Structure 1
Amino acid sequence: MAEDTHRTYSANLTTQVRVPKTAELVAGRIRRAIVTGELRTGDSLPSEAHLISDFQVSRPTIREAIRILESEGLISVSRGARGGARVSQPDSDIVARAAGLALQTRGATIRDVYEARMLIEPPAARLAAERRPKEAAAVLRPHVEAEFGLTGDVVAVTQAIADFHRILMEQCGNETLAILALAMKGVFEKSLLTSQAHRPPVSLPERQKQLRFGLASHRKLVELIEAGDGPGAEAHWAAHMENAGKVWLQQVGSTSVIEILD
């Protein structure tokens, strides 16, 4: 019996071990140099010949490592005589699309997303008010005023509203929440646009009136943040999201599965 147990344990242990491919190890070394700032945005990677010599690997291995980093948005590759690989700022669309696809694959619903946002956005508003009220207000206020100028264009103002939620999270002083906001922006924006498309037809002046009512709540939040009123900002934004959710969740269908693919 002891021998059988040992045999099973050994088999399970070995099946869990995966030796990384050489290209993955090379990509990991370059990735670390980018993340730690040793390589900065705009820097050129050494030539293919130099990389082959430095890492003592084959040309196909270097090319596979470059493809891995390019797929992650960490480098951009230009072809031609003067081409090459350069360090690039990770594309926010990559983060947002990956999150959207993951949610769609798992069958997440619009309500799932909205519930998550209701849990994290009001506390984020409080953090913004308590940690960096002046800085956050200085970024949010001009965005709100721009929103008011877009009420004649339903698509543009809807995209701006999605941006307001993202900016709020970015301005709370917590980098993890900022990344979450970036990941969810595309999903939220597409849900809002779907909701707008399902709303009963109304005249443009009536639609603008409805939009301005909601945007006035954005303006109020900025005032609370600038005043450093953390509890007030959190309570106001919780009420705003609850009321807004009742409207657009009903229109878009709270049990609808997220669709991020075009």
Structure 2
Amino acid sequence: MVAAQLRRQIVTGALKEGDALPPESVLMERYGVSRPTLREAFRILESERIIQVKRGARGGARVMLPDSGTAGRYVGTLLQFRNTPLADVYQARTNLETAAVAGLARKRTAADIRELKKAVTEGELLLEDAGAFTEHDVRFHRLLLQLAGNQTVSVLLDVLFSMIESHNSKVLQRSRNTETSLAMCRSAQRAHIRLVELIRDKDASASAAFWHQHLTQVADFMIADPGAGETVLDVLS
């Protein structure tokens, strides 16, 4: 009960990031609970990474903002337990992001197109640095989700990104700035340009089909041998 009430204050904004929770004695009196019960509530919220507790005379609990990384760790553990193939994660990402792109194409505004063109221009300047372009590519994908406007899909994809990015970084580290990795960057940039054109034209079906094909090709590259059966456990462990 205590954890639920404190969690509600955090997610509704009554308690802001960095705010200190009241002293234990105040909370014990407010909720009518013992110190062990209150500390168990703190442990629950700490495990959810929405508070941070520092021990000692100058310690106390402070509010943290919830993030998708926390959810990603829980989901990753579940997928590890189920021995989920990494290809399964990439497929889920492809399906969700394709749907988001189709939605964006249907509703896009002039301001959305300006944001996308700005991102494309930034990418053009990074094509000779695979590491920098890879970071830009992640921002481009997140921009698509932001502009699409569906918060639930955005959170779900953030969870998948947290696993996929871990794998991608390992793959790209092995081929950083090689001709292969730079060719992938140039291919991704061309895909970004074409997608923005399709979204500009409000062609939802063509946008979805094109982006599905692009993401499938990226997955095939990142999972060099899908038949090898690499799992989420192999990536996150």
TM above 0.5, yes or no, is yes
1:115-159 CA-to-partner distances (Å, cap 9, x unmatched) read 212222211101112234445445444444444444444344334
Q: Conserved in 2, the CA contact under 8 Å of 1:195 and 1:252?
A: no
Q: Structure 1 residue 73: deviation in Å?
A: 1.7
Cα displacement (A) at 1:54: 0.4
Matched, 1:247 2:216: no
User: What residue identity is the alignment partner of 2:189?
Assistant: L
Aligned partner (choices 206, 214, 217) of residue 188 of structure 2: 214
Question: 1: CA distance between counterparts of 2:139 and 2:77?
Answer: 20
What is the aligned partner in structure 1 of residue 23 from structure 2? 47
Report the TM-score, using the length of structure 1 for normalisation: 0.76
Structure 1 residue aligned with 2:87: 111
* Cα distance between partner residues in 2 of 1:95 and 1:244: 24
56-65 or 71-80: bigger deviation: 71-80
Aligned residue in 2 for 1:59: 35
1:176-191, aligned counterparts within 5 Å? Answer: 176-191=152-167
Identify if the C-alpha distance between structure 1 residues 142 and 111 changes in structure 2 by more than 3 Å, giving closer, same or farther: same
Matched, 1:34 2:35: no
Output the CA distance in 2 between the equivalents of 1:129 and 1:93: 28
1:233 matched to 2:189? The reply is no
RMSD: 2.9
Give CA-to-partner distance per residue, 1:165-196, whole Å, 9 cap, x none: 34323331111101111101121113323444
1:95 aligns with 2:71: yes
Partner of 1:9: none
**What displacement does 1:74 show?**
1.4
**Equivalent position of 1:20 in the other structure:** none
The amino acid of 1:180's aligned partner reads L
CA 1:65/1:191 → structure 2, altered by over 3 Å: closer, same or farther? same
Q: Which 10-residue stretch deviates more, 252-261 or 51-60?
A: 252-261
Question: Where do 5+ consecutive residues of structure 2 fail to align?
Answer: none
Please, what TM-score do these two structures have when normalized by structure 2? Answer: 0.83
Structure 1: how far apart are the matches of 2:57 and 2:224? 56
Per the alignment, residue 19 of structure 1 pairs with none
Question: Residue type of the partner of 2:218?
Answer: A
Give the Cα separation in 1 of the matches to 2:117 and 2:59.
Answer: 42
Q: Deviations over 1:7-57 (max 9, x none)?
A: xxxxxxxxxxxxxxxxxx210121122223333334332211110100111
The answer to whether the Cα contact below 8 Å between 2:97 and 2:157 also exists between their aligned partners in 1 is: no
The CA distance in 1 between the partners of 2:172 and 2:225, in whole Å, is: 8
1:261 is aligned to 2:236: yes
Contact 1:123 1:234 in 2 (8 A): yes
1:82-113 Cα shifts (integer Å, max 9, x gaps):
54322221133222222222222211112211
Measure how far apart 1:63 and its partner are.
1.5
Task: Name which of structure 1's ranges 235-244 and 150-159 shifts more when overlaid on structure 2.
Answer: 150-159
Q: Is the contact between residue 9 and residue 15 of structure 2 (CA under 8 Å) also seen in structure 1?
A: yes
Corresponding residue pairs, total? 236
Counterpart secondary structure, 1:171? helix
1:110 touches 1:254 (CA, 8 Å); kept in 2? no
Find the aligned partners of 2:215 and 2:164 in 1 and give their Cα distance.
13
* Contact 2:53/2:60 (8 A) holds in 1: yes
Q: Which has the higher contact order (CA 8 A, sep 6+)?
A: 2
**Other-structure match for 1:4:** none
Is the contact between residue 73 and residue 94 of structure 1 (CA under 8 Å) also seen in structure 2?
yes
**CA 1:241/1:100 → structure 2, altered by over 3 Å: closer, same or farther?**
same
Identity rate, percent: 36
Unaligned runs of 5+ in 1: 1-24
